[in-house]
Amino acid sequence: MRRFAFPILLSLLAAGAAHAQPVNVPVLVPLTGFLSLEGTSQRNGALLALKQAPAGLTVAADVVDTGTSPEAAVTALERAAGKPVTAVVASMLGTQMLAMLPLAKDYGLPLVTVSGTASITEQGNPWVFRFFPGDAVTKAAHARYVVEDLGRKRPAVIYQTTAYGQGGKAQLMEQFQKLGATPVFEEGVDTSAKDLLPVITKALAANPDVLVLHLHSAPTALFIRQAAAHGVGVPIVAGSAMHQPSTAALLEPAELKGVCAETAASPVSGGSPEVEAFTAAYRGAFNAEPDAFALAQYDGVRMVLDAAAKGARTAEQVRDALAKGTHKGLAMTYASDGKGNMAHSAVIVCYDGKTRVPALVKRYDSLTGAVK
């Protein structure tokens, strides 16, 4: 665990600051290890939200690197609890979240996270709030786009053999079954696989009408590059890793032509003046491109700060505001389903082969109907 020099008091001492006690939101996220890319996005989104806190609030934020071990995350939370805490930006790593949950309940600390691990909101713990849609949401959008919009009924599903990959694949299979589509091929790929031509060859041999991917960032890029090199004409609809600007940066725009992907949001694609302002501010602050994790964490922290601005001063009051309120964020409108799942929308983005910035082509809200 690495503790950063930011106990930066993000002193937003707007004229006439109303509250002497700062809103303290420790940021406990993985900045090193295999999840450092996503963890950095999470941190950046949180810090940007804190930097743009509503006038009148004084905000404090300790940033602590939790690495990838549950012990480090628990230690970070214990240390953070040594001071009055308003809410905690908690790791997006599921195993760390599961370790932190009992402690958060004991201390009474709201955990605001973008972790996709389904089980963190299945523990009956009223202190966890997930601002990123889980697989049940994103994979529903993924499968619906494939079946309803592309009209494909013979998908080949290629997924990662990690917990992330297998969880998403299970959801995809369930959704395809509901939609009356029968996967003609399914295979797991280890993250260490270097050459994906074998799996591409086998998938094509099954005569699919669409290739559905649920892979991490580098394997997604590798798959798309090899498919393009071998002239694969079957459309590809990838998982959320594809939307990350760092994934697209690995490929030439021509290799991306026709590729689509599901994601919670794609800030670089714009969509509204507010999202464009967020993207510009993010680039200015971090010299990097924002992804869906950054935007979701930004929205989550904004909801906490809005609650504080409306008078929620204790952790319990913030928890109640998150549990009962609705927040119109930049990516979507958030409301708890009673378990702490706040995000219920997903979008589909597609690449035109000319740039690495995808266009938003479909939005799914509440999974009750598609709205363009």
Partner 1 sequence: MTILQLTLNGLALGAAYALVALGFVLVLNAAGAVNFAHGDLVMAGGMLAVALAPHITSFWPAPGLALLPLVLVLMAALGLAVSWLAYLPLRGRPHVSVFISTIAVGIILQNGANALFGGEPRAAPPLLWGGTVALGPLVVSVQSLAILAVAALLIGAQQWVFARTQIGRRLRATAQDPEMARACGIPVTAMILATFALGTAYAGAAGLLLANQFFVTPTAGGDLILKAYIAVTIGGWGSVPGAVVGALLIALFEVGVSAVLSYPVALGALYATLLVILVARPQGLFGEAARRRA
Segment contacting partner 1 by CB under 8 A, of 146-154, 240-248, 307-315, 322-330: 240-248
Closest to 210 (Cα-Cα) out of 138, 167, 174, 259: 259
Shortest distance, position 60 Cβ to partner 1, whole Å: 25
3 binds partner 1 (CB under 8 A): no
Segment contacting partner 1 by CB under 8 A, of 103-111, 123-131, 229-237, 344-352: 229-237
Interface residue with partner 1, options 84, 102, 198, 311 (CB under 8 A) = 198
List of long-range contacts for 272-281, beta carbons under 8 Å, 24+ apart: 272/330, 274/330, 275/330, 275/331, 278/48, 278/330, 281/48, 281/52
The residue whose two tokens read 């393009």 is: 228
Q: How many CB atoms lie within 10 A of CB 216?
A: 19
DSSP 357-369: SPEEEEEEETTTE
How are beta strands 59-65 and 27-29 bridged, if at all?
parallel
189 binds partner 1 (CB under 8 A): yes
212 binds partner 1 (CB under 8 A): no
Interface residue with partner 1, options 69, 95, 246, 317 (CB under 8 A) = 246
Closest to 122 (Cα-Cα) out of 97, 90, 88: 97
242 binds partner 1 (CB under 8 A): no
Residue 265's φ and ψ, nearest 5 degrees, are -165, 160
Shortest distance, position 252 Cβ to partner 1, whole Å: 7
Shortest distance, position 353 Cβ to partner 1, whole Å: 15
233 binds partner 1 (CB under 8 A): no
* Number of residues in contact with partner 1 under rule CB under 8 A: 38
Dist. CA 324–CA 64, nearest whole Å: 29
Residue 177's φ and ψ, nearest 5 degrees, are -65, -45
Record the tokens describing residue 346, joined without a space.
């997903």
217 binds partner 1 (CB under 8 A): yes
**Are 5 and 14 contacting, i.e. CB atoms less than 8 angstroms apart?**
no
Residue 140: its H or E element: helix 135-144
CB neighbour class for 11 (10 Å; exposed up to 12, middle 13-18, buried from 19): exposed
229 binds partner 1 (CB under 8 A): yes
- Report how far apart the first and last C-alpha atoms of the chain are (Å, whole number): 44
4 binds partner 1 (CB under 8 A): no
163 binds partner 1 (CB under 8 A): no
Distances in Å between the Cα of 46 and the Cα atoms of 26, 149, 272, 321 are: 10, 35, 20, 18
Segment contacting partner 1 by CB under 8 A, of 55-63, 136-144, 206-214, 248-256: 248-256
Query: Is the CA virtual torsion 256, 258, 263, 266 positive or negative?
Result: positive
252 binds partner 1 (CB under 8 A): yes
> Interface residues for partner 1 in 276-315 (CB under 8 A)?
288
Segment contacting partner 1 by CB under 8 A, of 12-20, 144-152, 196-204, 331-339: 196-204
- Draw the binding track, 10-39, toward partner 1 (x: CB under 8 A; -: no contact): ---------------------xxxxxxxxx
99 binds partner 1 (CB under 8 A): no
DSSP 8-class letter at 39: H
Instruction: Please say which residue, 35 or 236, places its beta carbon nearer to partner 1.
Output: 35
Shortest distance, position 91 Cβ to partner 1, whole Å: 14
Residue type, 238: A
207 binds partner 1 (CB under 8 A): no
Interface residue with partner 1, options 95, 161, 162, 317 (CB under 8 A) = 161
Segment contacting partner 1 by CB under 8 A, of 21-29, 84-92, 241-249, 271-279: 241-249
Binding site for partner 1 (CB under 8 A): 31-40, 161, 187-190, 192-195, 197-199, 201-202, 217-218, 221-222, 229-231, 244, 246-247, 249-250, 252, 288
